[in-house]
Amino acid sequence: MEPPAAKRSRGCPAGDEPGTGARRSRPETLLDLSAKRVAESWAFEQVEERFSRVPEPVQKRIVFWSFPRSEREICMYSSLGYQPPEGEQDTRVPFTRGLHLLQSGAVDRVLQVGFHLSGNIRELGAPGEPEQVYRVSISFDRCKITSVSCGCDNRDLFYCAHVVALSLYRIRHAHQVELRLPISETLSQMNRDQLQKFVQYLISAHHTEVLPTAQRLADEILLLGSEINLVHGAPDPTAGAGTEDANCWHLDEEQIQEQVREMLRARDSNGARMLILMTEQFLQDPRLALWRQQGAGMTDKCRQLWDELGALWVCVILSPHCKPDERSGWLQLLGSWDKLDVCPLEEGNYSFDIPSRQPALTSRTGSEDEEEVTGTSPRRTVFSRALQAGELHWNDSHLQRILASDSCGPSLTGNMGGDKPTFDPQGHPIWLGEPFPTACARVDTLRAHGYPHKALRLAYSIINTLRLQRRHQLDSYKQQKKELLQKGATCVTSTEGWVGHPLDPIGCLCRALLEACRVEEEPHNLFPDSAPEKRKLAYQHVPVPGSPGESYLALALEVALLGLGQQRALPEGLYAQDKVVRNEEQLLALLEEVELDGRLVQVLRKQAGLLLEGGPFSGFGEVIFRESVPMHTCARYLFAALLPHDPDLAFRLALRAMRLPVLETTFPAGEAHPNPLDSIVSNRFPRWFILGHLETRQCELASTMLTAAKGDTKWLHAVLASVQQNIHSPALLFKLAQDACKTATPASAPPDTMLLGIALELGLQVMRMTLSTMTWRRREMVRWLVSCATEIGPPALMSIMKNWYSLFTPVEAVTIVAVTGTTHATLLRLQLDTTGREELWACARTLALQCAMKDPQNCALPALTLCEKNHAAFEAAYQIVLDAAAGGLGHAHLFTVARYMEHRGLPLRAYKLATLALAQLSIAFNQDSHPAVNDVLWACSLSHSLGRHELSAIVPLIIRSIHCAPMLSDILRRWTLSAPGLGPLGARRATKPLGTDRAPLCQLLDAAVAAYITTSHSRLTHISPRHYGDFIEFLGKARETFLLAPDGHLQFAQFLENLKQTYKGKKKLMLLVRERFG
């Protein structure tokens, strides 16, 4: 239906820009034209990242133009193309109702804050009822409405009339809407007092609604290291979408799916029609073609929507009451959609040429493990399961008997025809007619179409089938147990896992069983003015008819654990693996809603024991397939649930689940084990996209066990051994060590030294693992290890100092371990007496000397610093430096140590080291900006302050090492300014400055003159006219040096004459020389 035209100025066409009308006669400003284009295509986060500062008027125009401008789009999402009879307006359509509300003046208190629009809609109630006021909120981004909220709690497929009314008001009266920048911009302009007043007034106005949330946030902010303090900034719902956020019109997919299921449950034929409409609309999504072209996977939200559509179509096709021609028509539609190139694939991406081991759902008779596995599976779309369901039927006599009665029992023959058993030894019906996921799809279909009792009967039969198969599996395993344990490996027993399966078989059974046990409790609302709370779920035991001792609640727990504990191969593809994780978390969330009573605890203990004894059929078995899905998340739930009732079983189960076999490598006997990190890297198969997530869950399980084992020596050491064997990520081991340390050192109780020792052991393992690889977190890790050892006591601290070579690099050991371990704060913490302190210091000095010998270049100076207070150790460190100088220790490090020696008041040692550094140095004629220039000048100043003897000894080194004329000249002039030995470090042995006509300065003068002559010739060889001026200045400095000699005038004149004769071809340059020097 087309939206009716609003009243507008003459000449203004329908669907014009928001709030224009008479304004169209004037041309738009450049700011508005630019803001419109930016508002259409840029997320506001991009604008802020692109420009360091966005002026407030520009922000306001971008925000203004970001709201949708066409009524046609509002109409589409409030009617989805509904066409009333020609010439009529259907008042049931939300768009029509919203338009009437707008025209009747029902919209008021409209406010736009950033990218958030709010307002009140007043609507007349039924006769005799008061007027209703609905609060509406709309978020938008890039001219699309991205989310809506209305007080009417609309549960329809379309936008409600109140959302329509507010949207149309904003489009038609845009300039009448009060506009504010995002709230974060306003808050940034407030000072501390204003912010506090703002928060307190806000809480006061809505205390019954926001006070608990406000207190929780305040507690988290005040807690250092909390998650909220690790995040930079804070969320702002009015600030627009982020760069990575999806930009699409709001459509509540969950609401739509639930509506379809409600229609199916009511056996409303419109359910299938609505599903057809939805499917066709979603297949027209232009992104599907783009994703196919790029060979990329779609977004998670879109992927989950298609999964649900596929599941809904299975329910529709499997409908037990549909007519054959209806089913035929649906199957024809599905077949046509299935052939479309853009039809989403079951594995979640469009690269369907990859070989797969995933089995196909078949309709043939047989048990669930009679699955077809092919080397390369055909292209499977989200509709493939529904198409295969078209081959199934409900006319099997045994199936009909199961569905018909709760008291279905075996006949005299025991079977209902065929060669497959139909009852277990206890006389309970079983269903072996098809694979397990297909049978569970039948349960979901019966439940969806309004047959809850039949769904429960079939679910019970399926669970009996699983129990019977498990008994057969255990019997089989007992016969092969010895062989499998000797072999230490097994092949996968189920190529298609039940958790993460496209048909969600375990979820279907659990939801059907739990629904029968659900009791809704009315919430106790202490604040009548506050918003109503969501009803809490409670479950009660509902007995299974005809099966004394059985309850649907216990069966739900049993089947969930059976599915979660199944040993299965991790599927291929990122989406399939992500779905396994998500489905597992969904099932565990269902179980966590169930309060465990004594009866359920018994079920839990029994199932846990069976999982441990399940062999290759259980993910907790003694031997598992190398690429099977890990059990960490499931084990964490079981551990927490079992711990209060059976700690021994809880720990045994969790320790068994710690394995992550894909990271393990089996080495031939006698072959050395390589670096542990090498084995990890070589085994990180590209197929395991979620490996990082799995390792994190493994670490969380270990942390949970360590916390629970606090104070228990047996289990603490068992957990430590398991962690050291199974966790291979240094970062996660480090996190685990930190968590253990925090648990061991509560603020209000004495530390647990046993758990601290475990934390230290884990930290030591991290140090060994990362010693040869080095990570950017090593410094943090080393500092933490020292602090952990300090918490334990002096023996632990001295132990890591004595064994530093296997844990730290020399630099880490001498600059972090030794220094941190001997700080004043550490010594106070350790509460050592004088003897203890000296023992610790001696250990640190020994470490420092060892490090200096191993890496003198980087550790000599820290070692000297640590050994300052002990003469023998200091002398040893100094000797190490001297020996290293002979072995090639660089001049830069020698100069650094020499300066340190001077600072400590040891000028002769400083002089000795400076001469060793000069002996290694070489500064060419053109290196007047060499990095060692300042060090050389310092060394010359030091030798001059010590006296004539030291100065005379260093001159030959200067002449041999330095060939830069300006630098030699500078040294010479510095030495002639004062008498040697007059500095604060030297003794008074001379009364007047040295002359340049006598030794030792005469040799230095000769070297400087020679350097100027050599450098001049070198520069003139390739000089260009633009450097003539620089060269003349250079000659001026040379003359100053020449004139220091008694016959300097004559030498310089001869030098100039030689230049004029040699380079007489450079007439312009020689003319400049004559003008300057004659």
Contact yes or no for 539/593 (Cβ under 8 A): yes
Contact yes or no for 63/111 (Cβ under 8 A): no
pLDDT score recorded for residue 801:
96
Cα–Cα distance measured from residue 875 to residue 117, given in angstroms and rounded to the nearest whole number: 77
The β-bridge relationship of strands 107-113 and 178-180 is: parallel
Would you give the distance in Å from CA 450 to the centre of its chain?
A: 43
3-state secondary structure 408-466: CCCCCCCCCCCCCCCECCCCCECCCCCCHHHHHHHHHHHHHCCCHHHHHHHHHHHHHHH
Task: Residue 445: name the closest of 512, 399, 496, 499 by CA.
Answer: 512
Least confident of 102-111, 243-252, 616-625: 243-252
pLDDT digits (tens, 9 = 90+) for 275-294: 888 888 788 887 888 888 87
* Average pLDDT of the residues of the chain: 83
Task: Residue 448: name the closest of 268, 311, 265, 322 by CA.
Answer: 265
Answer with the residue of higher pLDDT: 560 or 204. 560
Contact yes or no for 797/821 (Cβ under 8 A): yes
Return the amino acid letter for 330: W
Answer with the residue of higher pLDDT: 390 or 376. 390
Cα–Cα distance measured from residue 671 to residue 816, given in angstroms and rounded to the nearest whole number: 36
Handedness of CA 473, 475, 476, 477 (dihedral sign): positive
Joined together, the tokens standing for residue 982 give 């007059």
Cα–Cα distance measured from residue 656 to residue 725, given in angstroms and rounded to the nearest whole number: 12
Per-residue pLDDT, averaged over 29-33, amounts to: 87
Q: How confident is the model at residue 533 (pLDDT cuts 50, 70, 90)?
A: very low
Cα–Cα distance measured from residue 168 to residue 189, given in angstroms and rounded to the nearest whole number: 33
Contact yes or no for 892/933 (Cβ under 8 A): no
pLDDT score recorded for residue 651:
97
Q: How confident is the model at residue 508 (pLDDT cuts 50, 70, 90)?
A: very high
pLDDT score recorded for residue 268:
65
Contact yes or no for 655/719 (Cβ under 8 A): yes
Which residues are within 8 A (CB) of 408 and not within 5 positions of it... i.e. 6 or more apart?
Answer: 401, 402, 429, 457, 546
Q: Where are the alpha helices (DSSP H) in 831-886?
A: 834-854, 856-866, 871-886
Number of H helices, E strands in the chain: 47, 7
Cα–Cα distance measured from residue 270 to residue 884, given in angstroms and rounded to the nearest whole number: 90
pLDDT score recorded for residue 353:
40
Answer with the residue of higher pLDDT: 216 or 14. 216
Residue 424 main-chain phi, psi, to 5 deg: -85, 175
Query: DSSP string spanning 42-78?
Result: --HHHHHHH-S---HHHHHHHHHHTS---HHHHHHHH
Residue 124 main-chain phi, psi, to 5 deg: -65, 135
Report in angstroms the alpha-carbon separations of 964 from 271, 344, 970, 1053.
Answer: 93, 75, 10, 22
Cα–Cα distance measured from residue 891 to residue 214, given in angstroms and rounded to the nearest whole number: 62
Cα–Cα distance measured from residue 200 to residue 185, given in angstroms and rounded to the nearest whole number: 19
Q: Give first-to-last CA distance, the chain, whole Å.
A: 101
Return the amino acid letter for 817: V
- Does the structure show a pLDDT above 70 at 222? yes
In 3-state terms, what secondary structure has residue 112?
strand
Contact yes or no for 404/468 (Cβ under 8 A): no
Which residues are within 8 A (CB) of 818 and not within 5 positions of it... i.e. 6 or more apart?
Answer: 801, 844, 847, 848, 851, 862, 866
In 3-state terms, what secondary structure has residue 395?
coil
Which residues are within 8 A (CB) of 1038 and not within 5 positions of it... i.e. 6 or more apart?
Answer: 965, 1012, 1016, 1052, 1055
Contact yes or no for 982/990 (Cβ under 8 A): yes
pLDDT digits (tens, 9 = 90+) for 53-73: 788 888 888 889 989 888 887
Task: Residue 717: name the closest of 764, 770, 762 by CA.
Answer: 762
Percent of the chain with pLDDT strictly greater than 70: 84
pLDDT digits (tens, 9 = 90+) for 939-972: 999 998 998 888 889 999 999 999 999 999 998 8
Cα–Cα distance measured from residue 85 to residue 95, given in angstroms and rounded to the nearest whole number: 15
- Does the structure show a pLDDT above 90 at 895? yes
Task: Residue 947: name the closest of 994, 912, 899, 903 by CA.
Answer: 994
Least confident of 260-274, 768-782, 843-857: 260-274
Cα–Cα distance measured from residue 415 to residue 385, given in angstroms and rounded to the nearest whole number: 30
pTM of the model: 0.72
The kind and range of the H/E element at 107 are strand 107-113
Cα–Cα distance measured from residue 306 to residue 320, given in angstroms and rounded to the nearest whole number: 24
Contact yes or no for 629/570 (Cβ under 8 A): yes
Least confident of 33-47, 115-129, 266-280, 977-991: 977-991
In 3-state terms, what secondary structure has residue 246?
coil
Which residues are within 8 A (CB) of 523 and not within 5 positions of it... i.e. 6 or more apart?
Answer: 532, 533, 534, 535, 536
pLDDT score recorded for residue 491:
67
Contact yes or no for 800/785 (Cβ under 8 A): yes
Contact yes or no for 939/914 (Cβ under 8 A): yes
DSSP state of 923: B
pLDDT digits (tens, 9 = 90+) for 484-501: 777 766 666 666 789 999
Packed helices 300-317 and 253-265: angle between N→C axes, nearest 10 degrees: 10
Cα–Cα distance measured from residue 845 to residue 835, given in angstroms and rounded to the nearest whole number: 15
pLDDT score recorded for residue 369:
41
Least confident of 250-264, 557-571, 619-633: 250-264
pLDDT score recorded for residue 256:
63
Answer with the residue of higher pLDDT: 351 or 643. 643
pLDDT score recorded for residue 224:
66
Which residues are within 8 A (CB) of 332 and not within 5 positions of it... i.e. 6 or more apart?
Answer: none
Joined together, the tokens standing for residue 1042 give 């020449």
pLDDT digits (tens, 9 = 90+) for 775-799: 778 999 999 999 999 999 999 999 9
Report in angstroms the alpha-carbon separations of 643 from 35, 371, 854, 1045.
Answer: 61, 38, 51, 95
Burial of 397 (0-12, 13-18, 19+ CB in 10 A): exposed
pLDDT digits (tens, 9 = 90+) for 67-120: 988 888 788 777 654 444 444 455 667 888 888 889 988 899 999 998 889 999
Q: How confident is the model at residue 863 (pLDDT cuts 50, 70, 90)?
A: very high
Cα–Cα distance measured from residue 166 to residue 122, given in angstroms and rounded to the nearest whole number: 11
pLDDT score recorded for residue 25:
57
The β-bridge relationship of strands 536-539 and 116-123 is: unpaired
Residue 180 main-chain phi, psi, to 5 deg: -130, 155
To 10 degrees, the CA torsion angle through 599, 604, 606, 610? 160
Cα–Cα distance measured from residue 1071 to residue 1077, given in angstroms and rounded to the nearest whole number: 10
pLDDT digits (tens, 9 = 90+) for 459-485: 999 999 999 999 988 888 888 877 777
Contact yes or no for 58/260 (Cβ under 8 A): no
Cα–Cα distance measured from residue 921 to residue 724, given in angstroms and rounded to the nearest whole number: 51
Percent of the chain with pLDDT strictly greater than 90: 41
Q: How confident is the model at residue 357 (pLDDT cuts 50, 70, 90)?
A: very low
pLDDT digits (tens, 9 = 90+) for 396-450: 999 999 999 887 666 544 454 456 788 888 888 999 889 999 999 999 999 988 8
Q: Which residues pair with 364 in a beta bridge?
A: none
The residue with tokens 């603020």 is 747
Least confident of 50-54, 120-124, 453-457, 808-812: 50-54
Q: Which residues pair with 148 in a beta bridge?
A: 138
1061-1070 b/e (C-beta count within 10 Å ≥ 16 → b): eebeebeebb
Contact yes or no for 514/539 (Cβ under 8 A): yes
